[in-house]
């Protein structure tokens, strides 16, 4: 582990939020924007924005709702029609067995995750996050008052259930699982999910299962963690799930997702959190969501597009030895550029300035904050192995992706000379 670097606090602002660095994604966003403003055309492999959009019927439903005046506040948990459609969808796809009273429609799954974390946070409680994680999971956990603890992943970025148990302490309350994973593209199979579930059950933890990429599994099948407790009485369930319309339906800017709370106790507290933070989700967007959930083939079409990208454009990275194998799911691949002799920050900066390709340096997905007693960050550290990783988004335009990967490989070859 590298040395802890002190975090400078904003003078006069000593909240937890003021000590949390903005995510690594924002640095590269800003750098790519600057390059574009200076007239350079940038190939954007740093951002998970799909090159396809939602089916036209989704936009029509949104416009119809607005024109038809269906724009009033809705229930805090969202329109009943949409929650019923979610329950039906989960029943037919083998997801959680649930009831509209435990479903919450949210402005993006990001807000759902944040609300769920606020619902589950207890003073001094620890949350277990994968050592390579989506930085927003960490930011949200800190903002909710959790103390993050990181569980190890093997060389294929898979968690070992006993490693997860070993990372825990008597203060552990929540285990966060994300399959398919951002940033690694790893998909956890039913056996491994079952083992993780068994550990959480034995230890008395809750689980948050982030299902944002549920429809993007290319090898094997997607298993929703909550489906493992279909036979458990709702009052005894421990798996809370978050879902997104952004990925499956390519509705990123609509901001629509949902939370399925494991049990009524959690649903009751989550209702308070939502009432106090959003009052309710946007009504017209929810109407668009009802239409989207009815378009059952769209997610399959989207998966095929991204799968095609993966198979064609990422294969050269595997052949060049930068990727161990093709990611089994999701929208991102984690490549290792260590052999160039550059750290990933320098690599991404130079790749952008010399080859006009934006990718994200991996360390930001592995930040280890040091905290004071109030949960404020006092230092940050990054495991050395994370400094040779870069994240590449492969949900983008196929031609841009292939060109971007070719340029990246040229750059690697140049650095090796
Ligand atoms: C793992 C993961 N969860 C949740 C989200 C949030 O998606 P949204 O808020 O758009 O539903 C993202 C977005 O990138 C993600 O990668």
CA distance 212 to 210: 6
Q: Which residues contact 92 (CB under 8 A, 6 or more apart)?
A: none
Q: How far is the CA of 245 from the centre of ligand 1 (A)?
A: 9
Over the chain, what is the mean pLDDT?
95
CA of 111 to the centre of ligand 1 (A): 9
**Residue 375: which residues within 8 A CB-CB, separation 6 or more?**
16, 142, 145, 146, 147
**Which candidate, 150, 186, 180, 132, places its Cα nearest to that of 365?**
132
pLDDT at 151 exceeding the cut of 60:
yes
Phi, psi dihedral angles at 31 (to 5 degrees): -65, -40
**Would you say 110 and 84 are in contact if contact means Cβ atoms under 8 Å apart?**
no
181 CA closest ligand 1 atom index = 1
Q: What is the pLDDT of residues 253-262, one digit of tens each?
A: 999 999 999 9
- Which part of the chain is CATH 3.40.640.10? 56-294
Residues in a beta bridge with 258: 105, 243
**Model pLDDT, residue 203:** 98
Residues 6 or more apart whose Cβ sits within 8 Å of residue 378? 6, 7, 19, 370, 371, 372
- pLDDT tops 60 at residue 10: no
Binding-site residues, ligand 1, Cβ < 6 A: 48, 108-110, 134, 178, 182, 210, 212, 244, 246, 252, 257
pLDDT in tens, 225-272: 999 999 999 999 999 999 999 999 999 999 999 999 999 999 999 999
What does the pLDDT average to over 328-349? 96
CA distance 45 to 298: 23
3-state secondary structure of 336: strand
Residue range 167-172: mean pLDDT, rounded: 98
Task: Please give the structure tokens belonging to residue 284.
Answer: 């017209």
**Residue to mutate, 130, 140, 182, ligand 1, most ligand atoms under 8 Å from C-beta:** 182
Ligand 1, residues 188, 209, 244: which to mutate, most atoms within 8 A of Cβ? 244
Task: Flag whether pLDDT at 3 surpasses 60.
Answer: no
Residue 234, Cβ neighbours under 10 Å: how many?
17
- In this structure, what DSSP letter does residue 380 have? E
Please tell me the predicted confidence (pLDDT) of residue 321.
95
Residue to mutate, 110, 130, 141, 259, ligand 1, most ligand atoms under 8 Å from C-beta: 110
How far away, in angstroms, is 381 Cα from ligand 1 center? 24
Interval 177-220: pLDDT, tens: 999 999 999 999 999 999 999 999 999 999 999 999 999 999 99
Residue 2: what pLDDT? 46
**Rounded distance between C-alpha atoms, residue 195 and residue 162, angstroms:** 9
pLDDT of 94 reads 84
User: How remote is the CA of residue 332 from the centroid of ligand 1, in Å?
Assistant: 12
8 A C-beta contact, residue 113 and residue 146: no
Residue 239 in contact with residue 197, Cβ under 8 Å? yes
- Residue with tokens 């089916």, as numbered in its chain: 55
> Which of 130, 132, 129, 152 shows the shortest CA–CA distance to 142?
129
Question: How far apart are the CA of 256 and the centre of ligand 1, in A?
Answer: 10
Whose C-alpha lies nearest to ligand 1, atom 2?
A: 212
For CA atoms 73, 74, 76, 78, the dihedral sign is negative
**Residues in Cβ contact with 212 at an 8 Å cutoff, skipping those fewer than 6 apart:** 109, 178, 182, 242, 243, 244, 246, 247, 257
- CATH for the 56-294 domain, from 3.30.160.100, 3.40.640.10, 3.40.50.300, 1.20.200.10: 3.40.640.10
Q: What is the Å distance from ligand 1's center to 244 Cα? A: 7
Sign, Cα dihedral of 94, 288, 268, 109 = positive
Q: Which residue has the higher pLDDT, 43 or 12?
A: 43
Q: Where in the chain is the domain with CATH 3.90.1150.10?
A: 5-53+298-416
DSSP code for 330: S
Centroid of chain to Cα 274: 20
Fold of 5-53+298-416: 3.90.1150
CA of 228 to the centre of ligand 1 (A): 23
Neighbour-count burial of 114, counting CB atoms closer than 10 A to its CB (0-12 exposed, 13-18 middle, 19+ buried): buried
- The CA distance from 132 to 125, in Å, is 21
Length of the chain: 417
Confidence of residue 31 (pLDDT cuts 50, 70, 90): confident
Q: Which ligand 1 atom sits nearest the alpha carbon of residue 110?
A: 9
Tens-place pLDDT, residues 62-79: 999 999 999 999 999 999
């Amino acid at each position: 582990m590298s040395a802890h670097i002190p975090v400078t606090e904003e003078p006069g602002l000593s909240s937890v939020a003021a000590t949390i660095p903005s995510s690594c994604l924002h640095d590269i966003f800003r750098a790519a924007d600057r390059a574009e403003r200076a007239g350079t055309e940038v190939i954007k492999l740093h951002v998970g924005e799909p090159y396809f959009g939602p089916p036209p019927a989704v936009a029509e439903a949104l416009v119809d709702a607005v024109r038809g005046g269906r724009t009033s506040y809705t229930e805090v948990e969202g329109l009943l029609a949409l929650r019923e459609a979610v329950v039906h969808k989960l029943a037919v796809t083998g997801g959680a067995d649930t009831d509209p009273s435990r479903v919450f429609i949210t402005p993006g799954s990001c807000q759902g995750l944040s609300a769920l974390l606020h619902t589950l946070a207890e003073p001094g409680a620890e949350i277990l996050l994968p050592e390579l994680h989506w930085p927003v999971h960490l930011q949200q956990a800190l903002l909710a008052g959790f103390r993050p603890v990181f569980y190890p992943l093997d060389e294929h970025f898979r968690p070992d259930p006993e490693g997860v148990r070993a990372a825990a302490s008597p203060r552990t309350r929540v285990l966060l699982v994300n399959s398919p994973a951002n940033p690694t593209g790893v998909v956890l199979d039913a056996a491994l999910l079952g083992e993780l579930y068994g550990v959480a059950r034995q230890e008395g933890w809750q689980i948050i299962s982030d299902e944002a990429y549920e429809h993007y599994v290319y090898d094997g099948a997607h298993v929703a963690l909550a489906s493992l407790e279909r036979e458990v009485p709702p009052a005894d369930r421990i798996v809370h799930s978050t879902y997104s319309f952004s990925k499956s339906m390519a509705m990123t800017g609509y901001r629509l997702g949902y939370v399925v709370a494991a049990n009524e106790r959690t649903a009751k507290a989550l209702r308070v959190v939502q009432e106090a933070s959003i009052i309710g989700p946007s009504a017209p967007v929810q109407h668009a969501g009802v239409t989207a959930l009815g378009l059952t083939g769209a997610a399959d079409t989207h998966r095929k597009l991204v799968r095609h990208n993966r198979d064609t454009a990422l294969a050269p990275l595997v052949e060049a030895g930068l990727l161990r194998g093709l990611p089994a799911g999701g929208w991102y691949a984690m490549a290792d550029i260590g052999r160039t002799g550059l750290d990933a920050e320098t690599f991404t900066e130079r790749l952008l300035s010399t080859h006009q390709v934006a990718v994200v340096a991996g360390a930001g997905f592995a930040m280890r904050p040091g905290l004071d007693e109030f949960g404020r960050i006092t230092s940050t550290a990054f495991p050395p192995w994370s400094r040779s990783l870069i994240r590449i988004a492969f949900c983008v335009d196929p031609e841009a992706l292939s060109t971007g990967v070719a340029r990246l490989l040229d750059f690697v070859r140049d650095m090796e000379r």
